[in-house]
Amino acid sequence: MQQQRFYDFIIIGTGASGSVLAHYLTTAGASVCMLEAGRHFRPNQFPSDELHANAGLTWNGGMDSSHDARTVCIRGKVVGGGTIINNCLLDRFDDIALDDFRTKSGMDFYSRSRMDQHYQEVESHLNLEYIPESDWNGNAHIYAEGFDKLGLKRAPLRRGQKNCDNANNDCVVCLGGCPRRSKQSMTVSFLPSALAQGAHLIDQFHVHQIVHGHKQVAVYGTHNKTSKILYARKCILAAGSLGTTELLLRSGFAKNLPALGQGFHCHPQFMTMALMNDIVDAHKGAFQALKSDEPRFRQQGFKLENVFAGPAAIAMLKTGFGEQHQDFMANYRRLACIEVAVRDEVPGRLHLNNKGHLVIDKPLSDIDQQRAEAGLQQIRDIFRETGAKRIIESPLRIALHLMGGCSIGQDRASSVVNEQFQVHDFPNLTIADGSIYPLAPGINPSLTIMAQSHRASQALLAEFGVNNTIPFQQPMNREASA
Ligand SMILES: Cc1cc2nc3c(=O)[nH]c(=O)nc-3n(C[C@H](O)[C@H](O)[C@H](O)COP(=O)(O)OP(=O)(O)OC[C@H]3O[C@@H](n4cnc5c(N)ncnc54)[C@H](O)[C@@H]3O)c2cc1C
């Protein structure tokens, strides 16, 4: 019989939630094992072209489709999770989002006075910069001109980056892993310290099932095509909205947790392009620099940002084929682009079909369609004001902010996780990733995922009686038989 190490915590997923938790738990002296389905890339190893990046860094090649095949969900499958492939725009929630979270979940800590300490703590590990006007690319200038002509309020975006040299760089690869160590992903912020403090990371480990016990959790998965079982006192699910929900569904928790899979939100995004007379070079420097700051838009449930992507992604946004499509792509450097991101009101549902595959049931409701249409109308107006020769609207909806499925709340009937971030009735399971969001905030989600993960780490340490003066009890480890 093979003897295996017994950990204090197994963390499934190394993204915005998992890496933050690993950092704070190892800081307190706990033994932590991190399991990640994706590969661990060093900065100089990231794929250098978009197609290999899609294949190598995302689930299903970046093509997790909704059941109606109208929305494409993109999520990272790599050490660092979504933070490797995201734009790293890091916003705190405003009062509107916090109040709505508090009302829906009944969790008092969703307030400015209670969350500020968590925001401050995680921000102290990140280099955050507002993109200065001197670093804007042509697309940002068009966005600003349109907003100003229409008298709309705009604001600079805050981004996690360091020495990015936006003004001069033409690297385009930002969403395929940052080779400059500029983007403040988990692999340049929380993960290195967790590893230095003794966290054990196993990449390319796909977790299939978890079994909850009174004193330990068993985690089943495959690594190098071999079945493995690992044990810990507690298991933290940090596999993201889709991954965490899917794991609990696969592990048979639905019978005890009626709300499991409910409440899925995704901020559906619609990218609208405009063909301009002059070169725009929207791919240069930071793809995104500006956001709308119109209270009216916030009330109406949408926001606008300048945005762009590499040529493969842009090609997929345009319908048609042949010469017409070729002409469109030949004008890549003349394209401007603005997205409307909808604060989706009506949730979808995640469930398994009879073949055991995850189904993302997320049709766009009338109300959310109307929110999108209100934003699209503003974009058309902006592009008309700024001299667009042609406006190209993509029929594809993109979902990058995947949230819900295991929402936080007070009772088992309508939620999955309690105030201590424990799964209701399963105290050895903790969740603090995007899956616990009770609704869509309408704001970039990852900074709040980090902040609530810091809060969850404090709740876990308090459970073990650990505080500033009392360290984690060592040794925690005992041998478990596999
Ligand atoms: C293109 C893009 C741009 C974005 N831009 C922004 C932005 O600018 N600002 C912002 O705030 N947010 C942005 N996001 C969203 C943001 O990245 C996510 O909200 C955030 O990373 C979610 O954190 P998480 O911890 O919930 O999950 P993730 O970061 O997704 O981490 C989950 C990890 O768990 C792993 N995993 C899943 N299932 C298993 C399993 N069974 N076994 C082992 N491992 C598993 C995954 O591989 C993944 O690495 C963007 C996302 C994308 C795709």
**What pLDDT tens digit does each residue of the chain (482 aa) get?**
455 789 999 999 999 999 999 999 999 999 999 999 999 999 999 998 899 999 999 999 998 999 999 999 999 999 999 999 999 999 999 999 999 999 999 999 999 999 999 999 999 999 999 998 988 999 999 999 999 999 999 999 999 999 887 767 777 888 999 998 999 999 999 999 999 999 999 999 999 999 999 999 999 999 999 999 999 999 999 999 999 999 999 999 999 999 999 999 999 999 999 999 999 999 988 899 999 999 999 999 999 999 999 999 999 999 889 999 999 999 999 999 999 999 999 999 999 999 999 999 999 999 999 999 999 999 999 999 999 999 999 999 999 999 999 999 999 999 999 999 999 999 999 999 999 999 999 999 999 999 999 999 999 999 998 877 777 775 554 444 43
Asked, for residue 444, whether it belongs to a domain, the answer is: yes
**Strand 32-35 relative to strand 3-12: parallel, antiparallel, unpaired?**
parallel
How many domains does the chain fold into? 1
Q: Which two tokens stand for residue 366?
A: 């009338």
Give the residues surrounding ligand 1 with Cβ less than 6 Å away. Answer: 12-18, 35-38, 74-78, 81-83, 85-89, 175, 206-207, 238-240, 243, 247, 400-401, 433-434, 444-446, 449
Residue 474: its pLDDT value, please? 59
* Residue having the nearest C-alpha atom to atom 9 of ligand 1: 89
Which residues constitute the domain of residue 371?
3-475
The CA distance from 257 to 250, in Å, is: 13
Amino acid at 388: A
Asked, for residue 423, whether it belongs to a domain, the answer is: yes
The CA distance from 186 to 189, in Å, is: 5
Asked, for residue 410, whether it belongs to a domain, the answer is: yes
Give the CA distances from residue 299 to residues 18, 97, 345, 440, in Å, rounded to whole numbers and listed in that order.
Answer: 33, 11, 12, 14
Q: Which two tokens stand for residue 479?
A: 């041998």
Asked, for residue 482, whether it belongs to a domain, the answer is: no
Asked, for residue 456, whether it belongs to a domain, the answer is: yes
Centre of ligand 1 from the C-alpha of residue 292, in Å: 24
* Residue having the nearest C-alpha atom to atom 50 of ligand 1: 86
Residue 471: its pLDDT value, please? 76
Centre of ligand 1 from the C-alpha of residue 241, in Å: 8
Of the candidates 159, 162, 126, the residue with the CA atom closest to the CA atom of residue 140: 159
Asked, for residue 481, whether it belongs to a domain, the answer is: no
The CA distance from 247 to 87, in Å, is: 27
The atom number, within ligand 1, closest to the CA of 62 reads 53
Q: How many beta carbons lie within 10 A of that of residue 260, not counting itself? A: 24
The CA distance from 111 to 455, in Å, is: 13
SS3 89: strand
The atom number, within ligand 1, closest to the CA of 447 reads 11
Pair 347, 264: CB distance under 8 Å? yes
Asked, for residue 271, whether it belongs to a domain, the answer is: yes
Mutational pocket test of ligand 1: of 75, 191, 307, the residue with most ligand atoms within 8 Å of the beta carbon: 75
Asked, for residue 79, whether it belongs to a domain, the answer is: yes
Q: How many beta carbons lie within 10 A of that of residue 116, not counting itself? A: 12
Residue 163: its pLDDT value, please? 86
CATH code of the domain covering residue 371: 3.50.50.60
Of the candidates 327, 66, 36, 316, the residue with the CA atom closest to the CA atom of residue 186: 36
Residue 3: its pLDDT value, please? 56
